[in-house]
Chain A
Amino acid sequence: MDFEFSDEQRQLREAVEGFASKEYSFEHLRAIKRSGAGWDPAVWRGLAELGVTALYVPAALGGLGYEPAETLALMDACGPSLFLEPILTSAVIATVLLSRFQGGAAADETLRALGRGEEIAALAHFEPRSRFEVRWVETRAERSGEGFGLRGQKAVVAHAGLADTLIVSARTAGRQSEAAGISLFLVPRETPGLKLIDYLTFDGQRAADVYLDGVHVPKSALLGTEGEALPAIEAALDVGLAALCAEAVSIMQALLRATVDYLNTRRQFGQPIGRFQALQHRVADMTVHLEQARSMSYLAAARCAVADLEERRRVLSAAKVVIAEAARFIGQQAVQLHGGMGMTDELKVSHWFKRLTAIEILLGDGDFHLQRFAASMTWA
C-alpha cells in the first residue's frame, strides 16, 4: 500500500499548479466570467503546451498514454484554480472515449488533433429525459445513403459551443433504455442541421442544448461497431466520474483552508470568531467529510478503469455518494462560516461553492448513486 503520488504525478501537479498561479489568478477567472466567453483560448494553448491535452491520447498517436487513474493528480492540481476550459470534457472524457476506438481513421485523426490542443471535442450523450441513466438514448440514427441521418436532442452538453467536434450517441437499434443498439458518431460542429442553444451554467462554465434535425454524417463518422457503443461510453464516463471526484476533493480542501483562515482573521465580540466552539466543531465536521471524501477519490481513481463492471460501478457509486454529500456540506458550511462575505462574488469562496454544487449533480447525484449501490448490494 502506498498513498503517495509518484514522481511523475508530482511533476505533473507542480507543472499545472505553477502554470495556474501565473496564468490563472482569481482575477483572471473573474474577468473571463464577466466576459461571458466561458474560456480563454490562450490558457487552453498553455495547458496543451504543458501536455494536459495529450495525457490520455495513446502514445502511438503522439500522446502521453497515461492511465486513467492518473486523473487524480491532474484534477487535484486543476481543481482549486476553477479552470473554465474543457479539461474534463475534452482532455479527459472525450479523449478517453475516442482512444477506445483507436485504429479507426476518424478517431485517430481527432485524437492527434486533441493531443496537440488544436481541437476540442465534447461527448453529447445525455438527453432531456435520460436524467442520469447512461443507457437512456432516444436520439436516433437512420441509414441514409452512404451514411446516417441523426435526429434527436441532447441536453446540457458541457462545452458543446466551443467544441470542434461533438461525439454524439444515437440509437441505430433498440428501445430507449436498451443496452444494445447505441452507436457513436463524430459530428463536426458546423454540420448542417446541428443547432446549439448555448448558455452559461451557474458554475461559470459553458454548456449547450444540442438539437439534431436530420444531421447527415458519412459512414466514416461511425465510431467502432454499430450498436455497441455503450461500454465505451460507460468507461469514459466512469473515468470522468473519478476525475470529478478528485476535482471536488481539491476544491473542498481549498475551501476548508480559506474558511480556517477567515475564522482566524475575522473578529467579533473582541476575538477571532474561530475561538467559538460552535464554529470549531463545524470545521471539524468539514474535516471529517473532507478526509472521507479524499479516501473515496483515491479508491475511485484506483478502480475507475478495472474490467470488472460490477466492482467498478460499486466503487464509483460509493465514491460519488460520499463526495456529493461532502461537497454539499463543505460548500454550504464554507459560505455559512464566511457570513455575508460568503455570499459575495468578490471572494473565491462563492465560486468554489458553485463548482462543488455543480459537481454534486454531474454524472449522477448522491441519491442516484446510493440507489444504484443499494440495488447491487449482496445481502447474505
Chain B
Amino acid sequence: MNLEFTAEERAFRDEVRAFVREQLPSATRAKVLGGYDLSRDDFLTWQRRLYEHGWGAVNWPKQFGGTGWNAVRQYIFEEESAEAGAPRLIPFGLKMVAPVLMTFGSPEQQRRFLPPILSSEAWWCQGYSEPGAGSDLASLRTRAVREGDHFVVNGQKTWNTLGHFADWMFCLARTDSQAKPQSGISFLLIDMKSPGVSVRPIALLDGGPREVNDVFFENVRVPVENLVGEENRGWTYAKFLLGHERTSIAGIGSTKRELARLKRVVAEERRDGRSQLDLFATRVARVEIDLMALEITNLRVLSGEGASRAPGPEASILKIKGTEIQQTISELMMHAAGVYALPLRLEAMEAGWQSDPTLPPAGPRFAATAACAYLNQRKLSIFGGTNEIQKNIIAKMVGL
C-alpha cells in the first residue's frame, strides 16, 4: 500500500499548476476564487486555451484528439485546476455525449460531432428529465415518430442546464410505446436551432442568473442520421453516460477551494471580532476531516480501475458524500456571514460590485454572495441522480 503520488504524477501536477498559473485569465481566476458568477465567455476562453495546449479533452483517448490520460491524471488535472481557480469544464459535450458517441456512435457521427466539441465550437445540453420523469427516467414521454428519413419529436424536457447557450442537445425520446419502458427509448441528437424547439427559463429559489430551462418540442424534425446506435436501445446508452463521470464526481478540487475560502473568511471574521466563532471552528474542522477521507476514497476508486473499466456503484458513495460536503461548506459560509447574508443583492454575484463606493459597507464582502450560493447548492443532492437514488444503488451493491 502506498498513498503517495508517483514522481511522474507529481511532475505532471507541477506541469498543470504551471500551465494554469500562466494561462488562466486573472479576471476569471478572481471570479472563481471569490465565488462570483462566470459568463459564457469565461468558460469558453478557458476551454479554448486548454484546446490550444492540446488539453482540450482530458477524458478522451488520443485517437479522438484527447489527452489519453488515465483516471489518476485526469483527477490530478481537475483537482489542480479547480484549486487554482480555473472554471469547471462544461461537461455536456466533453464528458457526457462524447463518450457515448465514441462507444456507440457511427464513424460519420464521430467525424461530424467530436471535433467541434474538442474545440468548444459546439455547446451541448442534455435532454433527459421531463415533468413526469425524474428519478423514474424510463417513464419519459417525449415521442419521436419515424416519418421517412426523419424522426418527428413532440414533448417537453425540463431541468435542462444552460440549454439557452446550447447548439445541440442529446435527447432521450420514446420511439416504441408498446415495449417495456426501458426498451422503447432512443438516443437522438437534436439541433437546437431546429424549427419547433423553444427554450424557456425556470426561475430558481436563489433568484440568480439563468441556469435551467424547460425545452419544448413541437413537430421537430430530426434527420435519422442523428440517431445514435440502434433505435430503442437508447436506455443502454443513457445508463452508460449517467455512470461514466467518476474522476470529478466528488468535486474534490473545487471543494478544497471552497473550504479554503471558508477558512479565509472565518479567519477575517475572528480578526475583526465580529462574532464568537470557536464552536463554529469545530464545524469547519469536521468538514475538513470529511473531505480528507473523501479524497482518499476517491483515489481508491480511481486507482482500482483501468482506464476502460465501466464505473461501478462506488461512484454513488462519492456522489453522496461529495455533495453533502459541498452543501455543508456553503451552509457554513452563509452562517459565517451571519445577518449580513440576508440582503438580497443579485448584482453582488458580479465580481467588483460595490453597494455605494462612497459609503462603508455594512458587512464583509463575502456575505453578499453567501446566501445565493447556499440556496443554489441545494440542487447538488437532487441532480445527477438524487442522493436517495444513490442509496438505492448502494443497497443493491452490498447485496440487498
Contacts and interface: CB of A to CB of B under 8 A. Distances in A.
Interface in A252-300: 256, 260-261, 263-264, 274-275, 277, 279-281, 283-285, 287-288, 291-296, 298-299
A42 interface: no
B290 interface: yes
Given A1-B299, A287-B317, A301-B1, A321 B286 contact: yes
B394 A1 contact: no
Contacts of B314: 291
Given A287-B317, A292-B294, A295-B296, A318 B289 contact: yes
A336 to B, nearest CB: 16
Given A3-B299, A374-B285, 9 more contacts: A9-B1, A281-B392, A283-B394, A284-B392, A284-B394, A292-B294, A292-B297, A302-B2, A315-B292
A79 B143 CA distance: 56
B308 interface: no
Given A281-B388, A292-B294, A379-B264, A2 B303 contact: yes
Contacts, number: 134
B72 interface: yes
Contacts of B285: 370, 373-374, 377
A244 interface: no
Given A264-B399, A283-B395, A1 B72 contact: yes
Interface of A: 1-6, 9, 69, 72, 256, 260-261, 263-264, 274-275, 277, 279-281, 283-285, 287-288, 291-296, 298-299, 301-302, 315, 318, 321-322, 370-371, 373-374, 377-380
A285 B391 contact: yes
A337 to B, nearest CB: 11
A379 B289 contact: no
Interface stretch (B3-11, B104-112, B193-201, B238-246): B3-11
Contact of B2 (A2, A260, A288): A2
A296 B288 contact: no
A265 B397 CA distance: 17
Contact of A280 (B263, B294, B316, B400): B400
Contact of A281 (B293, B304, B395): B395
**Across the A-B interface, the 10 shortest Cβ-Cβ residue pairs:** A295-B296, A284-B391, A280-B395, A374-B285, A379-B267, A284-B394, A380-B267, A292-B293, A318-B289, A274-B400
28 contacts: A1-B2, A1-B5, A2-B303, A3-B304, A263-B400, A264-B400, A274-B400, A284-B320, A287-B397, A292-B290, A292-B297, A294-B300, A295-B294, A295-B300, A296-B296, A298-B1, A298-B3, A299-B292, A299-B293, A301-B1, A302-B3, A318-B289, A370-B285, A370-B289, A373-B285, A377-B285, A378-B263, A379-B267
Interface string B373-394: 0000000000000001011101
Given A264-B400, A288-B317, A318-B289, A377 B264 contact: no
Interface in B269-318: 270, 281-282, 284-286, 288-290, 292-297, 299-300, 303-304, 314, 316-317
B365 interface: no
A280 B395 CA distance: 5
B48 interface: no
B156 to A, nearest CB: 29
B398 A260 contact: yes
A315 B304 CA distance: 23
A288 B293 CA distance: 11
B321 interface: yes
Contacts of A295: 293-297, 300
Contacts of B5: 1
Contact of B266 (A296, A322, A379): A379
A374 B264 contact: no
B203 to A, nearest CB: 32
Contacts of B289: 318, 321-322, 370, 373
B282 A296 contact: no
B1 A72 contact: yes
Given A302-B3, A377-B285, A3 B303 contact: yes
Contacts of B297: 291-292, 294-295
Nearest to B4: A1
B292 A296 contact: yes
Nearest to A286: B398
Nearest to A373: B285
B393 to A, nearest CB: 8
Q: Which of A1, A264, A302 has the most CB of B within 10 A?
A: A1
B152 to A, nearest CB: 39
Contacts of B395: 280-281, 283-284
Contact of B391 (A275, A280, A294, A374): A280
Contacts of B281: 374, 377
B293 A318 contact: yes
A377 B398 contact: no
Contacts of A374: 281-282, 284-285
Contacts of A299: 3, 292-293, 296
A283 B313 CA distance: 14
Contacts of B292: 296, 299, 315, 318
A231 B163 CA distance: 61
Given A3-B300, A298-B3, A281 B391 contact: yes
A59 B283 CA distance: 45
Given A281-B391, A296-B296, A321-B289, A260 B303 contact: no
Contacts of B299: 1, 3
Contacts of B400: 260, 263-264, 274-275, 279-280, 283
Contacts of B300: 3, 294-295, 298
Contacts of B266: 379
Contacts of A260: 398-400
Contacts of B294: 292, 295
Contacts of B397: 287
Nearest to B294: A292
A180 B1 CA distance: 36
A288 B1 contact: no
Contacts of A6: 1
Contacts of B1: 2-6, 9, 69, 72, 298, 301-302
Contact of B320 (A288, A370, A378): A288
